[in-house]
Amino acid sequence: MKMTFYNLDSVSKEFARKKTKFCLVIYDIVSNKRRLKLAKLLEGYGTRVQRSCFEVDIEKLNFELLIKDIRDFYQADEGDNIIVYVGHKEETVVFNPYDGAELLEEILFF
């Protein structure tokens, strides 16, 4: 839903706009049990778009919680691979029926 701000200058409009991040979380977890736990965790934040891929449209304040939860879950010694691509919903290019991310601004690797 696009918000319209009347009678605000451009700086005030930017300040009033909801601050969100659009993320794509992709993971490869060897353990079935741990992979299921991560999927359950990510279901609380976003929408599964493929087996090991979630789209997350999240407020910037909650983004830090998401990263903390992923960081707490991640175990390098188990061979975990988790990547969080961060962009803006407005920059999304969609080639399917659901909203998907294509253009990226920043990438976080775990």
Domain boundaries, the chain: 19-109
Q: Is 80 annotated as a binding residue?
A: no
Q: Measure the CA–CA gap between 99 and 102, rounded to whole angstroms.
A: 10
Tens of pLDDT along 13-61?
Answer: 666 666 788 999 999 999 999 999 999 999 999 999 899 999 999 998 8
Q: Measure the CA–CA gap between 91 and 100, rounded to whole angstroms.
A: 10
* Token pair recorded at residue 65: 């919680």
Q: Provide the pLDDT for residue 94.
A: 64
**CB-based contacts of 52, cutoff 8 Å, min separation 6:** 26, 27, 28, 29, 35
% of the chain surpassing 70 pLDDT: 68
Best CATH choice for the domain 19-109 from the list 3.30.70.240, 3.40.50.620, 3.40.50.1110, 3.40.50.1240: 3.30.70.240
pLDDT level of residue 101 (50, 70, 90 thresholds): very low
Q: What is the mean pLDDT of residues 67-90?
A: 90
Q: What letter would DSSP give residue 32?
A: H
- Whether 62 shows a pLDDT value over 70: the answer reads yes
Q: With contact defined as beta carbons under 8 Å apart, do 89 and 58 qualify?
A: no
